[in-house]
Structure 1
Amino acid sequence: MQTTIWTVDSSVDNLITYPQIQQAAQFLKQNEVVAFPTETVYGLGGNAESDEAVAKIYEAKGRPGDNPLIIHISDRQQLNSFVEEIPEKASRLMDEFWPGPLTVILNKKEARLSDKATVGLATVAVRMPDHPVALAIIKACGLPIAAPSANMSGRPSPTTAAHVAEDLNGRIAAIVDGGPTGVGVESTVVDCTEEIPVVLRPGGITAEQLAAVVGEIRMDPALSDKTKAPKAPGMKYRHYAPNAPLYLVDSSREKIQQLINEKRREGLLVGMLTTEENQAFYDADKVIACGSRSRLETVAGSLYETLRAFNDSPVNIIFGEVFPEHGLGNAIMNRLKKASGQPVIS
């Protein structure tokens, strides 16, 4: 398959009228899959009402078929066609954070969405992205769009069109290049089918922000207990991993440098994932800062690009610093732990 790549200036007016947007929408109507930018990461979109289109998403990504997809909309009226009801707390969260990096889980209506998109669950995960290109494409095609991240399953999520092409060129119909994304980590997923909303995946909206709107918020036990089965889309399997094994270290810079020295004496090339504040301290074969520790939004914004950057150097092992697990740091650590798949070294 030849992948068409269109470049779109997301700052222009009346974006929905542009030929590239209309062509992308036409592809989606024909049950092809198209990658496009959102405010979090690039998504791989397909018609959420079509088994054929959803199957192409899973095939292109190599994604396990029991891993549900998030449905993207451009207008809250679209919810009426596939959601039973919108609880009051869910409505308040939508009022505050849509469009934006918040996914809400609701009870679904039967016989509208593809069962492949929701893997037969009685619920559906849905969000309204805060990106002009994504909104224009969804409006132009008039369909709810199933869209996981536009990368091969298990690899770091894409924050540029080049990342998408690196993974999926030749595997999907088209890529709409709208420039780099902003938030960097995926949306927060909140289950609103219960009286007290439950955060199933931390992301661009923090638990503290959610609680300020609806009061008490619970965290899914699976976020801290590996014996519990996660319920959120994209949380069941290892994700975001660079090619070399990643080990997170909760210790002093001196201790981390000792670990680096030990591995180099063993003949390994060592990478170090750090922050701007500590970058000059470490002596390793590849040292990359993923942002500033004092501004965690910069870490979130460049985290996946940093993980991919280690693949451009022949490192055998990567050590990474840890971050406080509250606020946006909760989402950052969730992604780093998923990328590592190993217990944190302390």
Structure 2
Amino acid sequence: MAQLFVVHPENPQTRLLKQAGQLLADGGLVAVPTDSSYAVVARLDDKAAADALRRLRGLDARHHLTLLCRDLAEISHFARVDNKQYRFLKLATPGPWTFILEATKEVPRRVSHPSRKTIGIRVPDHRVALALVEAAESPLMSTTLIPEGEDDPLNEAQEIFERYGNQLAAVIDGGPCPLLSTTVIDLTGPLPEVIRRGQGDLSTLGLD
């Protein structure tokens, strides 16, 4: 059964985040609040956890898993970023955006898109999510927690605990989140292309 960690949304307790980080290191899945609904995360280097992540969401190999990163420097380690893309990412991060970029060799094949060799990547603007990535000492594979067969993400930790307690190692309760997924922006073409509209004001990025 999952552990439930109740943390302060602006100043999360380091001790609890370290415990959650250890559960990730042990191969578990953790639900965590972000700036665009709750997400389920796993360690980047854990194939079994990646498979469990896809089973929980009912996702196939063609669906991008997203890397949660701490900052822009970490993005450039896992994605190929030219000067134009870098300027755009600098404007947009942190925030409720997922960017599609060409993956570097540092990204395991199970995370990148099998045919396009691209990766979804983001830096969340949420203290709890960033603190968990810091505690894990590594970017985390993630996917928005949308129950299979439903359209809306979950944003209440207690509901997540009740519905997925047997499939998760922990649920981090940092309070409710927005009910929108991230906005997905493809940066692999000549111009940024909005693939999915969700959380965030596109006008702040000059795209609306």
Distance 1:130 1:171 in 2: 26
Verify the 8 A CA contact 1:151 1:168 in the aligned structure 2: no
Determine the structure 2 residue equivalent to 1:313: none
TM-aligned CA distance change 1:101 to 1:209, over 3 Å: same
Distance 1:200 1:75 in 2: 23
Secondary structure of 1:116's match? coil
**Matching residue within 181, 185, 188 for 1:193:** 188
The Cα shift of 1:11 comes to 2.6
Distance 2:154 2:55 in 1: 18
Note if 1:128 corresponds to 2:123: yes
The Cα shift of 1:194 comes to 1.2
Determine the structure 2 residue equivalent to 1:333: none
Secondary structure of 1:9's match? coil
Distance 1:23 1:150 in 2: 21
Secondary structure of 2:188's match? coil
> Any residues of structure 2 matched to 1:1-12 within 5 Å, and which?
2-12=1-11
Determine the structure 2 residue equivalent to 1:32: 28
Verify the 8 A CA contact 2:91 2:205 in the aligned structure 1: no
Unaligned runs of 5+ in 1: 212-216, 218-326, 328-346
Aligned pairs, number = 206
Q: Which amino acid aligns with 2:10?
A: S
Name the larger-Rg structure. Answer: 1
**Matching residue within 77, 101, 105 for 1:106:** 101
Q: Which amino acid aligns with 1:10?
A: P
Determine the structure 2 residue equivalent to 1:79: 75
Note if 1:164 corresponds to 2:160: yes
Show CA shifts across 1:189-225 (max 9, x none). 11111111111111223443322xxxxx5xxxxxxxx
Determine the structure 2 residue equivalent to 1:118: 112
Q: TM-score, normalization: structure 2?
A: 0.90
Secondary structure of 2:121's match? strand
The Cα shift of 1:52 comes to 1.6
Which 4+ runs in 1 deviate beyond 4 A? none
Show CA shifts across 1:207-261 (max 9, x none). 43322xxxxx5xxxxxxxxxxxxxxxxxxxxxxxxxxxxxxxxxxxxxxxxxxxx
Between Structure 1 and Structure 2, the one with more helix by share is 1
Distance 2:64 2:47 in 1: 13
Q: Which has the higher contact order (CA 8 A, sep 6+)?
A: 2
Q: Which amino acid aligns with 1:61?
A: R
Distance 2:91 2:31 in 1: 27
Q: Percent identity?
A: 25
Q: TM-score, normalization: structure 1?
A: 0.56
The Cα shift of 1:35 comes to 0.5
The Cα shift of 1:82 comes to 1.8
The Cα shift of 1:48 comes to 2.2
